[in-house]
Structure 1
Amino acid sequence: METESGKQQHHFVLVHGICHGAWCWYKVATLLSSAGHRVTALDMAACGASPGRAEEVPSFEDYSRPLLAVVSGLPPDEKAVLVGHSFGGLSLALAMERYPDRVAVAVFVAAGMPAAGKPMTSVFEQLSQEEQPADRYMDCEFVTSGDPQHPVETIRFGPQYLKQRLYQLSPPEDLTLAMAMVRPSRWFLHDATMNEDVLTAERYGAVRRVCVVAEDDVSSLSAGFQRRMASLNPGTEVRAEGVAGS
């Protein structure tokens, strides 16, 4: 299918990062829709406008189910362009492994990109080896609840963290929106799917992927770290972008 300008029309499926929701894609979704593309911006489980609480989501697969449902439900002749930011890259990876024939390309925008044959928690292990400032998470709120043998850990970004690490180059109204909308979320570090070698070269590794490096990123995922993740995934197209005025 083509847009009114004669260019090919695509179906973009947008996946947010930790503590965020579909709302954070409002500018991107508007631009893509205006260009004639179909856009589906998703709320992962207990995120954005999705009901429920983060600690009630039993697994990473349940967290990612909104994406898995959309991709698995595509018409037989349709492939989607998956776009994930930050933690959303791990949900992309799971969808790519499950439904490689339904994905035209996966775009990792300053996002976690695990390597085939490695558990998804390897991204966090590599990140822990990166040099980080002492006040890495600043005023973020961490809460541990549930069974001490199987604790549930959540994080909620604090106002200063949002202002100085995530939205420092964005218009002030975007920061105001984020402060009103962010919710506690989870990394599922002890989840079985996150810790097993579920990503295969034959399925996950066979899907075309693009790594969009945010050169001005001052959050946990530095530009250098983003490039190192891409280097562990042969064939990844790497594109560098500035984020000023986003």
Structure 2
Amino acid sequence: MKYLNILIFFLFVSSTVTLTRSNPPPSGGGDGKHFVLVHGACLGAWSWYKLSTLLRSAGHRVTALDMVGAGIDPREAEDLRSFSEYVQPLTDFMAKLPAEEKVILVGHSQGGLCISKAMEDFPDKISVAVFVAAAMPGPSLNASFLLEQFRKRIDFGPDTRYTFGNGPKSPPTTLTFGPLFSATKLFDRSPKQDLTLGNTLMRKTHLFVGRQWSKDLPLTTQRYGSVKRVFVVSEKDKVIKKSFQQWVIKRNPPTDVVEIRGSDHMVMMSKPFDLFNKLSHIARRYS
């Protein structure tokens, strides 16, 4: 029934949302850029449906990817063994890009970790990387420490569900945001229909341990550090609060910082036009 709901949704919005392939710009798109959108934990390519429509209508190409076990990807989060495996759809996509093509990477929340790996692996194929209220590790801020600090500051609430693939005495291996957490923290400023959509399509996300981050996400000044970065602050975010976003920015300063006022954690749902305008400006400036 869950996968039937997902199928029905994607049939409904197939004309507006990009899944795992890019759409050409409308005729006369002119100086359109190519945006690659990477979702956050428990979400999927579906979470970008508003922004994808706005970008394509403005003449840009859009590729919104499902990471492994997310969105309509048929694999399960419990079966993942590494972060590199989780981010493989993005790695494969970047590897197939023509050598002369550069894209604008946009990562939301946990998606910031994914685009960070792409920055390290394919720096010459990226014109700018945009972190939307996202995890932004770096050469001097490793992902393991960053996530440890984040988890100290977040209360996932009473209805977030965990699984324990390594046994009940070991740390949890997956989590799924519950409806209460989604309503009060994730989508609290978004339209109610987007909350309903999120609760319908939410899937488990794998919780990787510290040693996996050290192996799978080493970031260097020479490669990761050569890519321009912009951090988009979400003012009213209750998941990654503004104070923590500023903490990350201070310890891993990006090229530029912009802010979207009045947005919740689901910036692309609560303030899609504001995010579209910020990305349009970033595209003009950095590509």
Tell me the TM-score normalised to structure 1 length. Answer: 0.90
1:18-167 counterparts in 2 under 5 A?
A: 18-130=41-153, 132=154, 135-146=155-166, 153-167=173-187
Number of aligned residues: 241
Q: What is the aligned partner in structure 1 of residue 249 from structure 2?
A: 230
Q: 1:203 aligns with which of 223, 238, 249?
A: 223
Separation in 1, partners of 2:36, 2:180: 30
Q: CA deviation at 1:162?
A: 0.6
Alignment of 1:156-195 (within 5 A): 156-192=176-212, 194-195=213-214
Find the aligned partners of 1:114 and 1:59 in 2 and give their Cα distance.
Answer: 17
Shift of 1:149: 9.2
Letter in 1 for 2:174: T
Contact 2:160 2:177 in 1 (8 A): yes
Offset at residue 233 of structure 1 (A) = 2.3
Change over 3 Å in CA distance of 1:126–1:36 after alignment to 2: same
* Aligned-pair identity (%): 42
Q: Which moved more, 1:100-109 or 1:197-206?
A: 197-206
Distance change in 2, residues 1:44/1:191 (3 Å): farther
Select between 68-77 and 232-241 the one with higher mean Cα deviation.
232-241
Check conservation: 1:85, 1:109, Cα contact below 8 A.
Answer: yes
Give 1:176 deviation, angstroms.
0.8
- Matches of 1:42 and 1:108 in 2, distance apart? 16
Asked if 2 retains the 8 angstrom alpha-carbon contact of 1:15 and 1:42, the reply is yes
Gapped regions of structure 2 (runs ≥ 5): 1-23, 265-269, 272-287
